[in-house]
Amino acid sequence: MAYNIAVYVGSLRKASFSRKMAKALIALAPESLQLEIMDISKLPMYNEDLDESPPEEWVLFRKQLKDCDGILFVTPEYNRTIPGVLKNALDVGSRPYGESSWDGKPAAVVSVSPSAIGAFGANHHLRQALAYLNVPAMAQPEAYVGHANELFDEDGSLTNAATIEFLRDFMRAFADWVATIKG
Ligand code: FNR
């Protein structure tokens, strides 16, 4: 039986490199992982006042998160940290207090940027929040994907053989990581 992996993409842009990367990673994943990109674009901004009567989007998001076996984050970097849409998802999933839906889920982080340093800042800011949320994030291999504007053809397919091999290995390692944590 395959593990169900929720994929969270930190960009809402139609032509997002991160979204293309998420789709490429799904295509390269071993059969033991069943991955699905989750929509976080409609999540109302987290507001503690709404905790007693949460919006239905929050309720659904938390349920889907609780039901998954693991998480793959694919994110760009905004101003050296993660985009607000992804931070909002982290916050919504972390509440109500004491009932975080993130707790214990094995995860992996792929950061994506047209710049050379591959959104290192976003990758590590995300890892900091994940450590607090008790989300065991795979340490190695790391994936800081730079020059993202040069990686895809017009159909959104990866063009570089070395990149494809690296990402295939990354997804194999992630599958092993999920199996290790889930037992
Ligand atoms: C960026 N971009 C960017 N890139 C980067 O490597 N480090 C950064 O700190 C930032 N900061 C930043 C802030 C804001 C508000 C925007 C809109 C953009 C550029 C960013 O990497 C580029 O727009 C990517 O294409 C965004 O990712 P998607 O949408 O292609 O996945």
What are the boundaries of each domain within the chain?
Answer: 3-182
Ligand 1 shell residues, CB under 6 Å: 11, 13, 16-18, 76-80, 112-115, 119
Q: If pLDDT is split at 50, 70 and 90, which confidence band does 4 have?
A: very high
The residue-averaged pLDDT of 67-82 equals: 98
pLDDT at 118 over 90: yes
CATH topology of domain 3-182: Rossmann fold (3.40.50)
Two structure tokens written together for 125: 């800011």
The residue-averaged pLDDT of 107-121 equals: 98
Model pLDDT, residue 114: 98
Query: Which residue's C-alpha comes closest to atom 21 of ligand 1?
Result: 113
CA 1 to ligand 1 center in whole angstroms: 37
pLDDT at 1 over 90: no
In the chain, pLDDT over 90 holds for what percent of residues?
Answer: 99
Rounded Cα distance, 163 and 167, in Å: 6
Rounded Cα distance, 70 and 136, in Å: 10
pLDDT at 78 over 90: yes
Q: What is the ipTM of this complex?
A: 0.99
